[in-house]
Structure 1
């Protein structure tokens, strides 16, 4: 049997501006998801002092935002497949704006918690829906680049909030309200622009199915949305593989996203300003290389670079583990991690999911993998501070092992699943036909 290349080798074709606009507006789901999590982390000490929170309430808010994103992903992805992705695409972002506004204006911790619930659920629901919308609209030769661009927005969300937190660090509750207020404004602007998008009319779920890899309408309602379509080998195998990759990689990324500054202060003996500055200083590397990933996302280099990046990423966590979190070792870690994660991280998960999961249940299936992964992240986050206090080395080596598992899962996806995926095979077949 002829081997199918891991990515199409056709000459790169230009992408229309309207599709880049769609990718940017859909990528706002990733921007607002990352920005919500990081803003809660940045503002938590301010909330604790201003609202006279107990330790349990402070912990609950940190955990609940992740749990709500998980539940929102599970429910939102399914609802999008059932009732139409375009409809949920606009509703999710409007609910997020309301939740962010409640957080911004909250007079006490109870109202703050209510806002976190609404914004978290809406952010989670928008993640699989927006990715499915982009994938539905994208022609096969451009799908990787358009889906990968949403990851640029994810990194940008982290960078903007950390930058605002650094600049507004001395302004107390005023700065905290400005940070979350910008999320409400960004969500409302996104909702306005999304509602004006000229998309093809949605067919009814019972309508004849469109080709899985053609440039279907961005909001097209999928066919065959019965749950039984999820429980078959063609769906379960790629769903399980992408889940294993994302959950093991995400345990490391989420831990350092939520507790990177905390680890630098409590384990590496860095000052608060130095720890924040280290995080801020290295983020531009990851952002620039995420742009580079977009450039390669529809070429064979996407998967070729994965092997090297995955090895470097495991090496980065090995350095952190071997030095037990010492400041010098952590500086090396941050450099290696920012150099590698754009080519062996969440961007790969997003692209691989769209290429391997069946088109008619993309919202449901990716919602499931998002939800289960975020649930695991929430549980891990609950125990992370205690484990850091007891044995930083155990935590760091555990994360290193997870990154190694993620690397093996990624190799399986590249060498097995992508080579048998119709979404990948189609462009190669087209190339043969043109020859």
Structure 2
């Protein structure tokens, strides 16, 4: 006999505020280490590049190659790693790609010359890329629908911490030369080894979600399959959210990646700030970013997540408009940094991570998000190659181009919220509960 669906009980707690069990927070933290190591690797190479150049007597082409290869390898690793995880088991890949990162980071730390350094960058970059979509899929598989937003959003806090630790160590160890450079990358190797040991002992029971099973067309109670055919990526259920989240991530990321890689460079070359002032500005805003990202985690499973996106997206576009109107003048850039840091945590990569896990079919999460990560990172790498030349030609052209990208990202995000999120599993029950509570 079929069961009649029961209406949500308005006296029960809001599902978005239900406490999350500690073992799931542990899983989110260990999965978030992929973001920590990804950000830490990129920033540490950037911080240490001048030291590597002098110590290894590197030519300009080798220095450029190492910088570009980090981004390219992360892109390739995301594409291949996500697919391998869906084929052979996410937990298995989840455990071993972090081990491979530790090996690569150790090679970078102990490299006696630039060739060995390049090999280490290749290994660490590929492993970091592979771990990004895999780790998100693992925590998403283990999370109940009412907690998925908060757990996935927490990985973005780890990403912010990866940046903060690398920049802080670079600042503190700036006078120690190669010893400091080895310590900065050595902490990444140590963090990866500890994460590998903890992940190996992590016990998660991926509880099937009937709502999600129905969303992907699986029978009730079915577990997420392995070895799914690649053609499942091109079904409407996967293609539409994959395209929408990609458009959001790539347009938002062109602006964020430009200021992530060239923020200090633009402050010095365009805004005429000193090196110490430019570095200080970036350091000053990192705690704000971490705190606001934690605030995003608190609302990630509630309607406020998407409501705040609209406000933050407008403020974010306004920030780039100010920078563009002032053509990168120092006062305009200071206003930009304030507005950007206040809005970015609520209209940026954290949204992309949550939306991807909510809207992509469960059986292809690793493959599809790996594909969007890879393609976007490849575009970021190409854009980074031309950014210094474009900034020298016209800072205004560069800044207005980024402003246009941010505006497109706002529209893409609005489409995801209005069209795709309502179809996602777990959203309808939460909204029904809230309506019943207000009745």
Q: How does 1:30-429 map to 2 (within 5 A)?
A: 30-200=35-205, 211=210, 213=212, 222-223=225-226, 225-428=228-431
Identify the match of residue 32 of structure 2 among 23, 27, 30. 27
Residue 322 of structure 1: how far off its partner (Å):
1.1
User: Does the aligned pair in 1 maintain the 2:156–2:349 contact within 8 Å?
Assistant: yes
Task: Give the direction of change, closer, same or farther, for the CA distance of 1:11–1:245 in structure 2 (3 Å limit).
Answer: closer
Task: Give the direction of change, closer, same or farther, for the CA distance of 1:115–1:11 in structure 2 (3 Å limit).
Answer: closer
Structure 1 alignment gaps of length 5 or more: 1-7, 203-208, 215-219
Distance in 2 (alpha carbons) for counterparts of 1:227 and 1:430: 37
What TM-score does the superposition give when structure 1 sets the normalisation length?
Answer: 0.92
Structure 1 window deviating more from structure 2 (382-391 vs 247-256): it is 382-391
Residue 327 of structure 1: how far off its partner (Å):
1.1
Structure 1 window deviating more from structure 2 (424-433 vs 125-134): it is 424-433
Task: Give the direction of change, closer, same or farther, for the CA distance of 1:183–1:301 in structure 2 (3 Å limit).
Answer: same
Distance in 1 (alpha carbons) for counterparts of 2:227 and 2:121: 34
Match of 1:206 in 2: none
Residue 222 of structure 1: how far off its partner (Å):
2.9
Distance in 1 (alpha carbons) for counterparts of 2:305 and 2:51: 42
Match of 1:205 in 2: none
Distance in 1 (alpha carbons) for counterparts of 2:53 and 2:298: 43
Distance in 2 (alpha carbons) for counterparts of 1:358 and 1:212: 12
Deviations 1:17-52 (A, max 9, x none): 000000000000000001100111111111111111
Distance in 1 (alpha carbons) for counterparts of 2:257 and 2:211: 33
Task: Give the direction of change, closer, same or farther, for the CA distance of 1:433–1:286 in structure 2 (3 Å limit).
Answer: closer
Task: Give the direction of change, closer, same or farther, for the CA distance of 1:58–1:45 in structure 2 (3 Å limit).
Answer: same
Aligned length, in residue pairs: 417
User: Does the aligned pair in 2 maintain the 1:140–1:427 contact within 8 Å?
Assistant: no
Structure 2 alignment gaps of length 5 or more: 1-12, 214-222
User: Does the aligned pair in 2 maintain the 1:139–1:213 contact within 8 Å?
Assistant: no
CA RMSD across the alignment: 1.9
Describe the SS at the equivalent of 2:25: helix
Describe the SS at the equivalent of 1:141: coil
Describe the SS at the equivalent of 1:53: coil
User: Does the aligned pair in 2 maintain the 1:356–1:417 contact within 8 Å?
Assistant: yes
User: Does the aligned pair in 1 maintain the 2:285–2:341 contact within 8 Å?
Assistant: yes
User: Does the aligned pair in 2 maintain the 1:84–1:221 contact within 8 Å?
Assistant: no
